[in-house]
Structure 1
Amino acid sequence: MILDEKPYRHVGTSKHGGIVCVADHASNFVPADIPLGVAANLMNEHIALDIGVEGVAERMARRYGIPAHLACVSRLVCDLHREEDHPAVVPTTSDGHLIPGNIGADVEARLKRFYRPYHEALEKWLEAIEPDLIVSLHSFTPELASSDEHRPWEVALLYNEDDRAARHAIRLFGEQGLMVGENEPYSGKELNATMNRHAEAHGRFYLALEIRQDLIATRADQSRWASMVADVAGRVDLALKNET
């Protein structure tokens, strides 16, 4: 939930340099004054949040020293991983489900209340830390309700113009025996808003990471993936430093 009216929270101890984590879809919280009209059971599904991501990010922060900037509001209230002018920044549908409360919503008010404070705080946080590498953490559903497309990848790396960190991670996850997607199940050329703004625009290295949600649904799985992601991120960071 939102604390002190902030649509974000920080987990772990921030220090200069190192690796940090960002999770735009970590929460399914909806403020009481925003009636979305969505069935309660759907609020625990992928349309409302990236399932498992909060648990992975918190474990990375507390166990592996990778501090995290986590969203505290559902993507159905305001999608923080879109540009301000994107038509789905306040979505009216998601995977075939109507979001009645967002039809005719005051988009500017949502941006002012949630989107801008989230990204302004993220910008200041990154400027203060000057991280060596950002891990942008997301999860994806194995199958969309609105499509017959099967998504077999276990983990995927998304990127837009800068693929330097992603290339190392694709190799390293592959060496773990995982089925690794490159710009799957969607392309970072089209969907990379947060990293376009906070990483590529500043020349910061980043990994935009998508984990299949059924693989991080339990606490045990979240712990396993937190360890794996922390290890891969550390090795990517080292490889990048050796290149410079």
Structure 2
Amino acid sequence: MNSPFNIFGVPRENSVLIVADHASNHVPEDIDLQISAEFLDDHIAVDIGTAAIAEMMTENIGYMSILAGISRLVTDFNRYPEDASVIPEHSDAIEILGNKVTAQARQDRLDAYYHPYHDRVKQLIADLSPQLILSLHSFSPQLRSNPEIARPWDIGVLYNEYDIASRFAIRFLEEEGLIVGDQLPYSGKDLNATMNRQAEAIGQPYFGIEIRQDLISDETGQRRFSALLQRTCDKIRTALA
């Protein structure tokens, strides 16, 4: 299937909506990225562990999720449509030759995947009026392009101008005993496209999360973080009320 998104959970007002822009490594059959198949299981193609965590969280009442249905190498939903990197030609030292496309092919991909995904996110927010949005991502503990740079955080919290929920998140996650990166491994001031468009633009409370992928590469880790994030979201919801 080539759906731009997958939705889990029961729709409820004043719930938590989980948005996972990079939850899938699926590449449609009519797109040839011209990369080795091994890279489809790599962090350049998918935010490892996020789909499972989002699905686990939506087993609970009051949680719903929308997950990307295609790889970020096909179309990166966490970019602006005019950004060159919305269809990346390279990622972490890997060249994606199949993404050197014409202007028309680029527009066709945006029309097929990017715009329907963002339209659905926008509609869910309008319909549900969520009390909180969790923007769910994961990060590689090491980059090929900069192997000497350590990335030791268990989890990072990202935000742009709106930081109220994120400040609560940092505190509650540290209380869970985690090593928390405030705007790490990178800053939400620089890369926050989906939440800038879908949350900040309308005053919607949200916070962004990056989990280190080696901690959530199996079901045990995914279960641990799904429970941990649910506790954190519930505490934030109480704090915001």
What CA deviation, in whole Å up to 9, does each residue of 1:155-202 have, x standing for no partner? Answer: 111000000000001001111111100111111001000100111011
TM-score (norm. length: structure 1): 0.96
Correspondence for 1:94: 91
**Mapping for residues 224-239 of structure 1, pairs under 5 Å:** 224-239=224-239
Contact 2:138/2:211 (8 A) holds in 1: yes
Shift of 1:203: 0.4
CA distance in 1: counterparts of 2:133 and 2:60, whole angstroms: 17
Q: Check whether the contact 2:21–2:77 (CA below 8 A) recurs between aligned residues.
A: yes
Residue 169 in structure 1 maps to residue 178 in structure 2: no
SS class of match (2:209): strand
1:110 offset after TM fit, Å? 0.9
Aligned 8 A contact 2:12 2:62 in 1: no
Distance 2:40 2:60 in 1: 28
Give, as a single letter, the amino acid of the residue that structure 2 aligns with 1:168: F
| Deviation for aligned residue 1:39 | 0.6
The residue number in structure 2 matching 1:7 is: 4
CA contact (8 A) 2:14 2:131 kept: yes
Show structure 1 runs of 4+ deviating over 6 A: none
Tell me if 1:126 matches 2:125: yes
Moved more, 189-198 or 99-108: 99-108
| Cα shift at 1:107 | 1.3
Q: 1:233 & 1:126 partners in 2: Cα distance?
A: 17
Tell me whether 1:72 sits opposite 2:69 in the alignment.
yes
Higher mean displacement: 99-108 or 7-16: 99-108
* Offset, 1:65: 3.8
Q: Which amino acid aligns with 1:88?
A: S
Cα RMSD after superposing both structures? 0.9
Residue of structure 2 aligned with 1:53, choices 35, 50, 69: 50
Residues 64, 230 of structure 1: 8 Å contact kept: no
2:32 to 35, 38, 48: 35
Contact kept? 1:159, 1:187, Cα under 8 Å: yes
Please, which runs of 5 or more residues in structure 2 have no aligned partner? none
Give the residue type in structure 1 aligned to 2:134: V
C-alpha deviations, 1:39-97, integer Å up to 9, x for none? 11110010000000000000001145411001000000000000011110000000000
- 1:210-231, CA deviations, whole angstroms, 9 ceiling, x for partnerless residues? 1011111001110110000010
Whether 1:116 aligns to 2:119 is: no
CA shift at 1:149, angstroms?
1.0
Q: For residue 137 of structure 2, what is the amino acid of its counterpart?
A: H
Could you tell me whether the CA contact under 8 Å between 1:156 and 1:209 is conserved in 2? yes
- Secondary structure (helix, strand or coil) at the match of 1:67 reads strand
2:221 corresponds in structure 1 to: 221
Q: Tell me the SS of whatever aligns to 1:62.
A: coil
Amino acid aligned to 1:124: Q
Which consecutive unaligned segments of at least 5 residues does structure 1 have? none
The yes-or-no answer on 1:104 pairing with 2:101 is yes
Residue 104 of structure 1 deviates from its aligned partner by 2.5
2:15 counterpart of 1:18: yes
Q: What is the count of residue pairs matched by the alignment?
A: 238
Q: Tell me the equivalent position of 2:137.
A: 138
Counterparts of 2:110 and 2:150, CA distance in 1: 34
| Paired amino acid for 1:185 | P
1:118, CA displacement in angstroms? Answer: 0.3
Residues 11-50 of structure 1 deviation map (CA, whole Å, 9 limit, x = unaligned): 0101111211010000000000000011111100100000
Kept in 2: contact 1:52–1:217 (CA 8 A): yes
